Amino acid sequence: MPMTTQYPNIDIGAATLRVTYLELRQAPSQGALQDRPERIAREQLNRETYLHLYRRVGAPLHWDKRLLMPERELSNLLADGCLDIYVLRDGEGEALGFCEFDRREFPIIELKYFGLVAAAQGRGLGPWLLAEALSETWKSNPSRIWLHTDTWDHPAAVKVYERAGFRIYDVRDEAV
């Protein structure tokens, strides 16, 4: 069975994935003020910049949905204002990760993608990015923010989401 090198517990040859669905129905707790060189900001990314970051974050996690989208469809999605993308950048402006919310079904918002490049992991940046992005997103008064994660995601994903205030509402085994 082929395993990934970054996440050796992930069997990429598996026929099914365990998918965990989580939701947030009340305001998240405020993130702690951080005195660090990294910065988080909501950004409007063009297709090339977005895909570069998407690949850097998502390759070890087998993200491919945005890579399979036709160019025009992805460009329109990024331009039409229905996505809120919060980007974490280091002191030199290099993107280290992002948190993407899909607002097309507002007041329900889906947290579509969230992750860091491998070099930024393990320094507390992920929980900080998530907390800041959730806090800003909650200001728009959603009734619910939801997401799904699966066994191909980072092993700590469910715990990070639960610490941010999400609660599991369903777990399913789904075909890859």
Give the model confidence (pLDDT) of 7-65 as tens digits. Answer: 344 444 558 889 999 999 999 876 665 678 999 999 999 999 999 999 999 998 889 99
- The fold for domain 16-175 equals Aminopeptidase (3.40.630)
Give the mean pLDDT of the chain. 89
- Residue listed under structure tokens 């992002």: 98
Mean local confidence (pLDDT), 86-101: 97
First to last CA, the chain: 15
**Bridge partners for 41 per DSSP:** 87
Cβ–Cβ < 8 Å for 146, 131: no
User: pLDDT at position 175, please?
Assistant: 86
Neighbours of 76 (CB within 10 A): 13
Confidence of residue 154 (pLDDT cuts 50, 70, 90): confident
CB neighbours of residue 24 within 10 Å: 21
Give the CA radius of gyration of the chain: 16
**What share of the chain has pLDDT > 70, as a percent?**
89
Whole-number pLDDT of residue 33: 59
